[in-house]
A and B are shown apart, each in its own frame.
Chain A
Amino acid sequence: MAGSTDWTRREFLAGGVGVLLSAQDTLPEAGPAGKLWDPGRAGRPVEPTTAADNDAAIQAIEKRLRCTCGCGLDIYTCRTTDFTCPASPGLHRNVVALAAAGMTGEEIVADFVRQHGIEMLMAPPARGFNLTAYFLPGLAILGVGIALVIVISRWARRARPVETGAGAAVLPPTTAGELEQLRHELEQFRA
């Protein structure tokens, strides 16, 4: 086949597939030479990602700090959601700059709190009045739970003598088999 200008059917198909695959570089309606037809439609221009953007330590710090745009999300989630927030990219740059200056995570968080107030923390520190938010529900459940145990135990003590006194048998728990038997008998009774 070498040197021949005639193509076999297989070569023709392979050539066609090759052309189609190479067409991936020029997707429909893409602009020439990698430039977009209308960059204004693509949202806010973004900077190329840096290693700090994927740094787990930076992300961990950002997840403890609230974005100031009013979305209620942390800096990391906000800056990686929708990518339209005007505040979180700046806050992220601050975190990265402080980390690059050698500050630890705790120091960075403290610095943000100093600048923006305690509201900056995604979870308030567990001290002072904030302890109510963390421990009140658990303590309330525990307290009511203990009270329930005491009350039910008293009821149970009171219920037992009455039952035995009246000569009533202590019922064994109803099993699924007994319920089925009962249902069977009720159906027979109905018939």
Chain B
Amino acid sequence: MTLLGGLALWVACLLGVWGALTGLLGAARGRADLIASSRHAVFALCGALLVAVVALEVALFRHDFNVEYVAAYTSRNLPTFYTWSALYAGQKGSLLFWAAVLSVFAAVAQVVTAPRHRVYLPYVGAITSLVIAFFVSVMLFGGANPFERLAFTPLDGRGLNPQLQNPGMVFHPPMLYLGYISITIPFAFAMAALLSRRLEVDWLVAIRKWTLLSWLFLSIGICLGMWWAYVELGWGGYWAWDPVENASFLPWLTMTAFLHSVMIQEKRGMLKKWNLLLIIGSWLLSIFGTFLTRSGVIASVHSFTQSNVGYFFLGFLAIAGALSLWVYARRLPDLTAESTLESIVSREASFMFNNLLLVGIAFSILLGTVYPILSEWATGTKVTMGPPAFNRVNIPLGLLLLLLTGIGPLIAWRRSSLPNLRRQFAAPTASFILAALVLLVAGMRDPYPLVALSLGGFVLGTVVQEFARGVAARHRQYGEGWWLAFGRLIARNRRRYGGYIVHVGIVVLFIAFAGLAFKTETEATLRPGESATLRSPYGWTYTFTHLGISQYDALNRQVTAGTVDVTRDGRRIGVLSTEKRQHVDSRGQPTFQPSTEVGIRSDAREDLYIVLAGVVNGTEQAVYRFTINPLVWWVWFGGLIVVFGGLVVMWPGGGAPAVRRAQAGYAVKLVAKAVG
């Protein structure tokens, strides 16, 4: 099978080059035969890469340890669940996974694209084929072939890194990859529009859902990554401004900017240049993230091992960036706006400032991520950009963005009058003041959490007001019951109200982040029966009683578990267990350093987070770290709301075309006509 897999990679490489050439030539010269050949190449490419994936999975499940990748990332006693995920656990396998998923997306784009957008498909096929050919050539010529064989066959493999043996790591990388990879499709459509000079609003319609899909996958991937870091790494947090974390966040920010500014282009025919730049930038940032993860140029706990692959990506990034920006620059005269802004107090202007902040934050994070290198170049001194540095710059910008999240929906399109502003802002401002007063009376003095929570009140006030007015209008117009009106309001205006649901999710996330300011922790050495206490920010006193240490063998690990009885203000709330795990191969030989499994008890108010540091002198006397993390549950819940809102926006349908057009902004034009 590995022979077949290797062969499939060579076939895929050739097909990629063929698909790119025929697609570009066919589209440029209007040759139907070449265009058809390019389309077929895209499907064949997908087939070849899926064969390669299946071949690698077969090798993984057959424990073919003569294959270097199989020996490096699996062992005979690795659970089946993780044997499957070993496909993308290492550099080489993840490159194959990336190329295969992109080929699936490319084939799907060829099939599902609406007939009126088919004009772009030859270019789309060519660009996706080119990107896939690059990934496959990195595998073949960059020393990253997952089917490479060893000169000998080990009895057992090394096994999967224990930190990757977590359900979060089974789902987090594919989701993140799906987000990263699918950005190539909107990028390909944008380049197709530029190359074909068909720059009317149509290309935008063709890519909006793809961009939303990428954004959704990236959102899920980032949230799952945070969850994995929290439950697996044991440091009690979920975001450390690590370069690889930042790399995933950068395209998310620029795509969020695009999803806002695209509305201005749809409604007013403005910001065409900007929107194209955002799409090109998002794709380049996704390649930049791949370069960061795989080059080892910046130290990160998430990076793959340092290899030459990074240079391939750097070269690709430079060439692809230069080419796409050159094409973009050549088409600038065709990208003139159809109208201009009429007032600074308008929805359009607020979206522009929202874009400015989103892209500004992306710039700030990018600068912070590469700053150690820049500093070394400029001053000869390497510095560290840790969480304190990122927080110092980005928390104020994030709060400003939160404020705009609340302001944007309150301002009318084109122009807002003073009475309208008064009417719109009254309730949200009242909820802001109320939230701030309640928090001040409750004794909160920490400025950032205070501002974040108060602004959360403001944004929620805005969203509730928007929903309330919409529901009331339906109730009046159609005589619908309140809940029916609420359901139909969302169902018939999915984009608008789905967007508001996303805003609610963002507010919930900000509130949860603010909770981190109230984290408390203590370390304690306890003999069985001894207790440690910790006071929570809510005023409760938790008592942790060490019950003892147990040791036992599991499938692929030797476990030392510490068990702790927990009471809150004297009331018993349960038992928590935290482990030290020594992973072993099928012969019982240790494979990695011992790892720690955290004991977590989570509720809506706070998490109890217990880590077994180790034991003293080989006895049951144990050292623990006890942490109380307020509001962490809301991080996951906020992420779910964001994803749910994104799904609502994406969900197909939404009423008759005429109604959809009305919701998409043509209403304003129709009203204008009626008034005129």
Contact = CB atoms under 8 A, between A and B. Distances in A.
A186 B20 CA distance: 45
Interface string A46-79: 1111000110000000011010001111100100
A144 interface: yes
A144 B383 contact: no
B234 A45 contact: no
B523 A53 contact: yes
Contacts of B375: 124, 129-130, 133
Contacts of A170: 415
A12 interface: no
Contacts of A175: 469, 473
Given A42-B615, A169-B675, A172-B417, A49 B393 contact: no
Interface string B511-554: 00000000001111101110000000000000000011111100
Contacts, number: 296
Interface in A87-119: 117-119
A39 B470 CA distance: 65
Nearest to B595: A82
Contacts of A71: 301
A123 B392 contact: yes
Contact of B420 (A47, A172, A182): A172
B269 interface: no
B619 A36 contact: yes
B547 A24 contact: yes
Interface string A142-176: 00110011001101101110010000111111111
A180 B253 CA distance: 33
A11 interface: no
B549 A179 contact: no
Contacts of B416: 173
A2 interface: no
B263 interface: no
Contact of A182 (B352, B552, B611, B662): B662
B656 interface: yes
Nearest to A179: B667
Contact of A136 (B349, B367, B550): B367
Of A24, A35, A66, A153, most buried by chain B (CB within 10 Å of CB) is A24
A129 to B, nearest CB: 5
Contact of A159 (B342, B393, B473, B658): B342
Contact of B340 (A46, A47, A134, A158): A158
A119 B383 contact: yes
Given A30-B551, A176-B469, A184-B478, A122 B420 contact: no
A187 interface: yes
A49 to B, nearest CB: 4
Nearest to B382: A119
Given A70-B299, A176-B473, A177-B476, A24 B357 contact: no
A18 interface: no
For chain A, the bracket of interface size reads 35 or more
Contact of B614 (A45, A64, A177): A45
B594 interface: yes
Contacts of B420: 172-173
A189 interface: yes
Given A49-B524, A137-B364, A180 B477 contact: yes
B657 to A, nearest CB: 9
Contacts of B656: 187, 190
Contacts of A138: 364, 393, 396-397
Contacts of B363: 137, 140
A84 B550 CA distance: 20
Contacts of B361: 137
A8 B616 CA distance: 45
B108 interface: no
B614 A41 contact: no
Interface of B: 233-237, 240, 242, 299-301, 340-344, 349, 352-353, 356-357, 360-361, 363-364, 367-368, 371, 374-375, 378-379, 381-389, 392-393, 396-397, 412-417, 420, 466, 469-470, 472-474, 476-478, 492, 521-525, 527-529, 547-552, 558-560, 563, 580, 582, 593-596, 611, 613-621, 623, 625, 656, 658-659, 662-663, 667-668, 670-672, 675-676
Given A49-B623, A153-B344, A178-B671, 19 more contacts: A30-B620, A34-B621, A36-B620, A41-B582, A44-B594, A72-B386, A77-B237, A80-B611, A119-B383, A122-B386, A124-B385, A141-B356, A152-B341, A155-B342, A169-B675, A171-B415, A171-B675, A172-B417, A183-B492
6 contacts: A30-B550, A41-B580, A117-B381, A152-B343, A173-B413, A179-B667
Task: Give the 8 A-B residue pairs with the shortest CB-CB distance, closest first.
Answer: A173-B412, A39-B618, A137-B364, A122-B386, A46-B614, A123-B389, A141-B360, A81-B235
Interface of A: 24-31, 34-39, 41-49, 53-54, 63-64, 66, 70-74, 77, 80-84, 117-124, 128-130, 132-134, 136-138, 140-141, 144-145, 148-149, 152-153, 155-156, 158-160, 163, 168-184, 186-187, 189-190
